Amino acid sequence: MPDEPEAVVAGNAGWEPGTARLATGAERTLIASLRLAIIPVAFLILAGLGAFAYAIAVFVDAFRSIVAHPYPVGHQIGLFLLDIDLFLIGATLLISAIGFYELFVREIPRDKATTMPAWLAMRDLNDLKGRVISMIVLVLSVSFAEEAVDLSEGLQLLEFGGATAAVIIALTVFLRLTNSH
């Protein structure tokens, strides 16, 4: 509105001009501080790469172990399930890094030259939360399968399965309730 003073247009009715400039400077500083999110992005990427490297080391060790002692089969399958778990954890860390970057630093453009899938676009914290919780559910499911292969005691498996199911249900309810807004 051209007839109103700058402070009123900015939503700062009654503020003196110096105070409005101070508020604008504070806002610019706060917006610039969002760039600090690059720090967790870098560490999430490093952690994801570490999980991938660890998964590769576990795979190589499992392969050697299987070649040397192919039986019992159940334990060997557990080693590969552990590998799946580690790769899923690494993927979760990378998805988190992408989400932090897009939400706090800069949107990643998606065009024909960009190979990043559109489903990784993060519009808000609910998008990031949903993807991370989905990955956690996958990790918990694989962890349960891994334990099911290794546990011989039925009651322990039932207890572990019940606890895993309770966490998955709680995460699903949390996701549904917070995404309904």
Rounded CA gap, 59 and 82, in Å? 9
Q: What is the pTM of this model?
A: 0.74
In the chain, what are the domain boundaries?
Answer: 37-179
> Could you give the residue ranges of the DSSP H alpha helices within 69-153?
73-100, 125-150
Rounded to 5°, the CA angle 63-68-73 comes to 70
pLDDT in tens, 25-56: 788 888 888 888 899 999 999 999 999 999 99
Give the helix/strand (H/E) hosting 104.
none
Query: Do the beta carbons of residue 23 and residue 12 sit within 8 Å?
Result: yes
Whole-angstrom distance, CA of residue 88 vs CA of residue 108:
23
CA distance to 11, 12, 100, per residue, from 42 (Å): 37, 38, 10
Alpha-carbon gap, residue 106 to 101, rounded angstroms: 6
Which pLDDT value is given to residue 16? Answer: 63
Confidence of residue 18 (pLDDT cuts 50, 70, 90): low
> Average pLDDT in the 67-90 region?
83
Mean pLDDT of 160-166: 94
